[in-house]
Amino acid sequence: MKKMTGSQAVMESLLQEGVDTIFGYPGGAIMPVYNALYDYRDKIRHILVRHEQGAGHAAEGYARMTGKPGVALVTSGPGATNLVTAIADAMLDSVPMVCITGQVLASLLGSDAFQEADVVGITTPITKWNYQITKASEIPEVFAKAFHIAGTGRPGPVLLDITKNAQIEMMEFSYKKAPQIVGYQPNTAPNDRQIAIAAQLLNNAERPFMLIGHGVLIAKAEKAVKEIAEKAGIPVGSTLLGLSALPADHPLFVGMLGMHGNYGPNVLTNQADVILAVGMRFDDRVTGRLSDYAKQAKIIHIDIDPAELNKNVLSDVPIVADAKEALTALVAKIKKNAHKKWVEQFRAFDKEEFEKVIRHETHPEEGEITMAEAVAMLSKKTKGEAVVVSDVGQHQMIAARYYKPEKTDSYITSGGLGTMGFALPAAIGAKVAAPEREVIAIIGDGSFQMNIQELATLAQDDIAVKIIILNNNYLGMVRQWQQLFFDKRYSFVDLKNPDFVAVSRGFYVDAEKANKREQLSKALDRLLASTKPALLEIVVKKEGNIFPMVPTGASVEEVRLE
């Protein structure tokens, strides 16, 4: 055992867990840890963000690309509370993250000391686990627990709040990874009997339908999904966060589920006789009106979190297991089959959707540039091989619908929390994690201004993220709802935006603007050819709407094309 300060023990613990990157912002209560970090700069890269929320989302982007817990390091009080939104975002989207916050001296806890906030109390509902370290001797054991909990079972964020005295005190360092934790035993292996029942249902099905979610990507179960789909001839639909688990051009991939998903998957959900749901939680944006959701179908639900089974939709065959392990067991028991007429029904709906929506949106004959047109052109130019990180709003749904990923882990967004301001910092984290891949942030003009300061992070660290702003000078999603459901009473959604090109250049990030159709293709070429961080503002149709759409309170089969 080696004697060292608590702050040095933090660094050594991070190295034991294989951490190579931290996203953070220093301050008084975390300064001893930053002092120790100075001596570890050759082993751990620190990305200095410009706001603590940015640190959290960057850690999320890093985690989404690597599967490892992303690490955020911030100070106490406002530093910790600024991180809260990103923590909640990670919790809802099952993203592994270890958040380290500084805290006042243990002797001052509860005294309303300068920059004291009860971050443990604040984050208890939005973390998988949190803990306040008040003694340096606790650090190795607590860090080992934190990383183990964050990255196993259903992943999620954990928070470690370290008092300043614990950072300064001397201690003897000894580390043991992956500890046994009483009461924490995530199950990964499927029940053989349940797998057999599921296989029998699928073998006898006439209209089977597989729904895949983020859990497929987390479990690295993409190959198993493909094997089952191809062996049994099952059409596959994806949730927003499940996109890219199956290539967009796969003959059995039928599109995205949910409120702005594709026409066929929504309508035909209520005609399937067996639904195999994997790593998805039947979110309200997927199910629409629950009382009318898939009542005719036998439901097989695979999820590693038992709390998700029977929470929203009752399962006939609930399987608590790791998605990859469950699907691998299932593929051995299902029979070779084909459901050509059933798949053809999806394709018939595809044709109707194309004629009524897609063709006009992606190939407008005149007028303003459309968001769909821009994203479809981007998809073609990148051959679906880029990592797209989208923010939240109309552009998010457009990116999900019209960017066609051909590689896994290619679509990153904020799903459950729907956090505006997510994309720019998350793209930073994704690019740091996968520098060999093209990372493109697709952002609306409203969302971009939520964390616009992270342009400085891009410039300082020369992180070659490409940014596309789809600018309609509106809070577009809210405006669409106000148009359709509130008699066009546009209440506080009209934006007077800054000159995004000038702002970007002010942050030393190259930028240009395209506001005419004839400019679009070459502007995208220049953006993609850049080897540095760069921004392209595309001025799009001001009052464009997104269809299909399942209105709130409607059944999925009541999806509207106009």
Could you give the residue numbers annotated as active site? 52, 114-115, 164, 477
Which helix (H) or strand (E) segment holds residue 46: the answer is strand 45-48
Structure tokens at 160: 């470690």
- Which residue is it, tokens 């993609």? 528
Q: Is the dihedral of CA 224, 228, 229, 235 positive or negative?
A: negative
Whole-Å CA distances, 1 to 17, 140, 172, 174, 501: 18, 12, 6, 6, 55
Q: What is the 3-state secondary structure (H, E, C) of 273-319?
A: CEEEEECCCCCHHHHECHHHCCCCCEEEEEECCHHHCCCCCCCCEEE
Q: Are 499 and 469 in contact (CB under 8 A)?
A: no
Amino acid in the structure at residue 159: L
Q: With 0-12 CB in 10 A as exposed, 13-18 as middle and 19+ as buried, what is 39?
A: exposed
Query: How far apart (Å, rounded) are the C-alpha atoms in residues 193 and 153?
Result: 22
| Sheet of strand 317-320: strand arrangement | 253-256, 236-238, 208-212, 274-278, 298-303, 317-320
Torsional sign, CA 305, 310, 312, 313: positive
Measured CA to CA, the distance from residue 43 to residue 357 in angstroms comes to 51
Bridge partners of residue 539, in order along the sequence? 471
Type of residue found at 345: Q
Distance spanning both ends of the chain, measured CA to CA: 68
d(CA 379, CA 360): 17
Sign of the alpha-carbon torsion through 538, 386, 94, 242: positive
How many Cα atoms are found within 13 Å in the side-chain-facing hemisphere of 12?
20
The dihedrals phi and psi of 97, each to the nearest 5 degrees, come to -155, 140
Q: Which residue type occupies 343? A: V
DSSP per residue over 392-446, as a string? SSHHHHHHHHH----SSS-EE---SS--TT-HHHHHHHHHHH-TTS-EEEEEEHH
On the CB side of 411, how many CA atoms lie within 13 Å of its CA? 29
